[in-house]
Structure 1
C-alpha cells in the first residue's frame, strides 16, 4: 500500500509591518494631495450625508482623517506613562548593584548631550556654508508669540515630583523617571515584600508590551489617516518659497541620522550600524508619522528590547530618558533656523554668538518635551539669547511640520543608538539578537489575521 501525501496548501506571501506602514504612508500622501488639488476658492465638492450637507474637506479632512489620526496618536500616548513607569520600576528593581544605575545615567546623559552638541554644530556649519537666507526677503505672515522657557536650574528643580500621580496625569516624563527609579530602588531593598511586588510588575510589563504589539498592527491605518490629513492641508507654495531652508535642514538631518550615528555607534561599541538602521525602520516610520518622540516611545522600547537585544534593565532607563532629553533633530532645526533668520534680517552674528547658540540649544534640549512643535518654543529662547527677532520664527512655521516629522525619526534613532552603546558597555546587550536580522519578526505577526 502506497502512502499518499496530503496536498500542500498554497502559501501566500505576507507583507511585513514595515511594508504595510510604508504603503499606508504613500497612500495617505497621494490621497491627501489629490484632495487638496480638488479644493478651490469657491468651495469643494458637497456631499449629502444623513441629511447633512458636508463638503469634501469637512467629510474627509476634518472628519474621517482628523478623528482617525487623533485616535491613533491618543492610543499611542495612552501607553507611554504605564510603559515608562512599569518598565523602569522592573529594570531598577532588578539591578543587584545600585552603583550600576549611576553608571547608566551618567553614560546616557553624556552621550545624549554630546550628540546634541554635534548635531547643532554641524547644522550651523552647513547653514553658514550654504547661506539659505541670503537675498531672501520674506515677511512673516504672523508674529510668533514666544512662551517663557524655563531656566536650567528650574528644569533641575522640576525633575523632583511633588505629586507623582499628578506627574503621571500630566505626562511629565522627567518626574515620572525620577519617581520610578526611587520606587524600584525601594522595592529592591524590601526583601520578600519587594520580590512579591516585583513579580506583579513583571506581569504588568508583559501585558503592556502585548498592548504595544496590538497597536503596532493598527499602525498602517493610523499612518494613512495622519498623512492624508497633513498633505490635504499643507501649503505647497510655502514650501517652494522656503525650499533652500527646508533642503538644508532636511539634508543635515539625514547626514546626522545616516552618517554621524553609525560612526558614533561603530567607534564606541563596534556594533554594525547597518543592522541598527535596518531594525529602526518601524520605529522611524512611527516617529515620522506622529512627530512625537513620546508617542513613539512604546514602539522604540519594543525595537530596543526585541530587535536590538538591549536588556530591559538598560532599555527601560535609557529609552524614556532619551525621549525627554535627546533632541538632536530639534537642535539641528534650531541651528539652521538661527543662521537663516540672522541672514534674512541681515544681522551679523559673532563667533561668540554662535558658541552661545550651541550651548543654549544643547542645554535647552534637557528641558524639551517630546511632543510636536515644542522645538519652536526652545528656538525662541535661543534667538533671544543672541538678540535675533523672535518674530522670525513666523517665517519657518509653514514648513516646520514636515521637518518636525523628519527630526523626530532622527531622535528615536539616536535613542536606540545610545541604548545599544550603553548596554554593550555594561554587558547587557544580547548580541545574538542584535546580529539576527529577523529578530522581532514574530512579534509583528501577532494579532494579524491569517488566511
Structure 2
C-alpha cells in the first residue's frame, strides 16, 4: 500500500471543542456587563440602551412569574402527598416548621441588634417629601393577612398571583388527597406530570438567568446610580451585613453543631441555588434548583419535595426577619418615633409568625407593611425604601434560599435519614447537568429510603 493511500485512510483530526462557560461564570459576566451597561446608559444618557436593559429585566422576571402560580400549587400539593412515603412524616413536618421559626427568630434578633447599634434612619439626607404611601395592593394588616389567606374563588388567586391563597388551596387539596387514598391516585398522577412539565419549562428560564442579570442589574444602576445607595448607605450595609451573618455564621454554626456536618461542604453543594437566587430575586423561581441541591446534599427525595416547596413560600430569614427589623428601626428613626421593648418583641413576633406574607416573590413590601402596621408606624416609610429595594432584594433572596436548604439538612441529620456519603461528595454542577438529571429521574424512591429516626 502506498503512503498516499495510507494518508487518505487516516482519521481526520478532531475539531477543537469550544469550552463551555460554567454557569457561575456566566452569572458573574452578566453582573459585570449589567453594571457597565447601566453606567453607560445613565451617565451618557443612552435612551435606547436604558430601555433595552429595562425590557430584558422585565421579560426575565415576567417569565419567572408566569410559572409561579401553577408551580406553587402543584409542588405543594404533590409534596404533601409524598409524605405518605416517608416514615414519621408528621414528626418531620413538625420539626421542619419548628426550625423555620427558630432560624427566623435568630435572624430577626440579629436584625434588631444591627439596627439599634447603627441607627440606619439617622443622617440619611432624605426628607419627608421622599416618603410616600406604598401601592394599595402591597399594603397589609393582620386582618388583611388572616382574611386574605382564604380565597373567594379558585380562579382569582391564579390570575392575580395571590401566592398565599394558592398555598392555602394546595394544602387543602394535598390533605384531601391523602385522606382519599387510592381514589385520588389518577389526579395525583396528572399533578406529577404537570409539575414535571412546569419544572422543565422553568429549567429553560433558569438558563436565561445570565441575560436576565444584565437587564436587572443594568436597570438598577441606570435608574438609581450610586447616589441613591449613598443616601441609604447605613441601611444598605445593615441589611447585607445582617444577611452575611446569618448566611456565613449562623447557618454554619447550626450545621456544625446540630447536624454535625462540614459547613464548607454544604456551601459547595448549595452554591448553584444561592447564586441563582441572588440574580433572580425569586425563591419560587429558584425552587427546582433548590430542591436539586437539597437532594444532592443527602436529604431524602420524599422529604425534600415537601420541605423545599414549603420553604420557598414561607421560609424567608432575610425578607421576613432581618429586613423588616432593620427597616422598622429606620422608619421609626426617620419619623422620630420612639420604640421600646414591647415594639421590638412585636417585630420578632411578626417575623416568626407572619413570614408567609412574603410568599416567595421578589420584594418584601407586604411583610414590611405588615410589620409597620403592627407597630403603628407610618406606612409612608415604605415609600422611602422602595427605591433601594431591588438592590437589597438580591442579597435577601440568596439568604432565603440558603435557609431553605439548611433546614432540611438539619432535620434530616437529627432524624438520622441524611445520606452522609452523598453530603460529603456533593459538588457544584452545571445547569445543563441538573436539568438532565431531573429529566432522567424515574419512579419515586422506595419508602424505605426515607425511613429512619
TM-score range relative to shorter protein: 0.7 to 0.9
Post-superposition offset of 1:20: 1.1
> Residues 5-33 of structure 1: CA distance to partner in whole angstroms, max 9, x if unpaired?
98565455322112111211221111111
Of the three residues 203, 208, 215, the one matched with 1:225 is 215
1:112 lines up with 2:103 in the alignment: no
**Residue equivalent to 1:26:** 32
Structure 1 stretch 343-352 or stretch 436-445: which is displaced more? 436-445
What pairs up with 1:141-220 in 2 under 5 angstroms? 141-145=129-133, 147=136, 148-151=139-142, 155=145, 158-160=148-150, 163-187=153-177, 194-195=184-185, 197-220=187-210
Deviations 1:279-313, CA, capped at 9 Å, x for gaps: 333322332223232333333233333x3343332
TM superposition shift of 1:189: 5.7
In the alignment, which residue of structure 1 is the partner of 2:329? 339
Deviates further, 127-136 or 225-234: 127-136
- Please report the TM-score for the alignment, with normalisation by the length of structure 1: 0.82
The separation in 1 between residues aligned to 2:411 and 2:27, in whole angstroms, is 30
Q: Is the 8 A contact 1:76 1:298 kept in 2?
A: no
**Match among 56, 61, 64 for residue 68 of structure 1:** 56
- Mapped to 1, the partners of 2:163 and 2:72 lie a distance apart of 8
Q: Which residue of 2 aligns with 1:121?
A: 109
- Which string of whole-angstrom CA distances, capped at 9 and with x for unpartnered residues, describes residues 121-157 of structure 1? 1111122222333455531333332555242x76456
**CA distance 1:425–1:122, change in 2 (3 Å):** same
Change (3 A) 1:366 1:218: closer
Q: Structure 1 residues 96 and 12 mapped into 2: Cα distance closer, same or farther (>3 Å)?
A: same
Distance in 1 separating the partners of 2:408 and 2:417: 10
Q: Deviations over 1:18-66 (max 9, x none)?
A: 2111211221111111211112xxxxxxxxxxxxxxxx32x2322x223
Once the two structures are overlaid, the 10-residue window that deviates more, 233-242 or 167-176, is 167-176
Q: Give the number of aligned pairs.
A: 426
Q: Is 1:272 the equivalent of 2:257?
A: no
Q: Is the 8 A contact 2:299 2:409 kept in 1?
A: yes
The answer to whether residue 129 in structure 2 is matched with residue 138 in structure 1 is no
Cα separation, 2, equivalents of 1:92 and 1:391: 40
| 1:108–1:318 Cα contact (<8 Å) kept | yes
Contact 1:144 1:392 in 2 (8 A): yes
Comparing 119-128 and 421-430, the one that deviates more:
421-430
Shift of 1:113: 2.0
Residue aligned with 2:126, SS: coil
CA distance in 1, matches of 2:413, 2:197: 27
Contact residue 334 and residue 379 of structure 1 kept, 8 A: yes
Provide the rounded CA distance (Å) in 2 between the counterparts of 1:293 and 1:199: 26
CA distance in structure 1 between the aligned counterparts of 2:79 and 2:322, rounded to whole angstroms: 32
The alignment's C-alpha RMSD in Å is: 3.3
* Alpha-carbon contact 2:140-2:373 (below 8 Å) kept: no
Deviation at 1:233, TM superposition (A): 1.2
Contact 1:80 1:297 in 2 (8 A): no
> Do 2:133 and 2:383's aligned partners in 1 also have CA atoms closer than 8 Å?
no
2:83–2:306: 8 Å Cα contact kept in structure 1? Answer: no
Structure 1: distance between partners of 2:399 and 2:407: 12
**Unaligned runs of at least 5 residues, structure 2:** 437-453
Alignment of 1:346-385 (within 5 A): 346-373=336-363, 375-385=364-374
Q: Distance in 1 between matches of 2:277 and 2:405?
A: 13
| C-alpha distance 99-346 of structure 1, shift in aligned 2 (>3 A) | same
Higher mean alpha-carbon deviation, 153-162 vs 308-317, is at 153-162
Is 2:233 the partner of 1:243? yes
Q: Give the 3-state SS of the residue equivalent to 1:299 in structure 2.
A: helix
Structure 1 pair 432–165 and aligned structure 2 pair: CA distance change class (3 A): farther
TM-superposed CA distance for 1:267, in Å, is: 2.6
Match of 1:315 in 2: 304
Structure 1's unaligned 5+ residue stretches are 40-55
Separation in 2, partners of 1:66, 1:133: 30
Cα deviation, residue 403, structure 1: 0.9
Moved more, 239-248 or 438-447: 438-447
Q: CA 1:175 to 1:308, structure 2 compared with 1: closer, same or farther past 3 Å? A: farther
Distance 1:197 1:401, change over 3 A: closer
- Which 10-residue stretch deviates more, 407-416 or 133-142? 133-142
State the alpha-carbon separation in 2 of the partners of residues 340 and 66 from structure 1: 29
Quickly say closer, same or farther: Cα 1:84–1:344, change in 2 above 3 A.
closer
Tell me which residue corresponds to 1:436: 425
Q: Residue 43 of structure 1 aligns with which residue?
A: none
Following superposition, the deviation at residue 410 of structure 1 comes to: 0.9
Contact kept? 2:141, 2:374, Cα under 8 Å: no
The aligned counterpart of 1:103 is 91
Q: Is structure 2 residue 251 aligned with structure 1 residue 258?
A: no
Tell me how far 1:92 sits from its aligned partner: 3.3
- What secondary structure, in the 3-state scheme, does the structure 2 residue paired with 1:348 have? coil
Deviates more, 1:219-228 or 1:416-425: 416-425
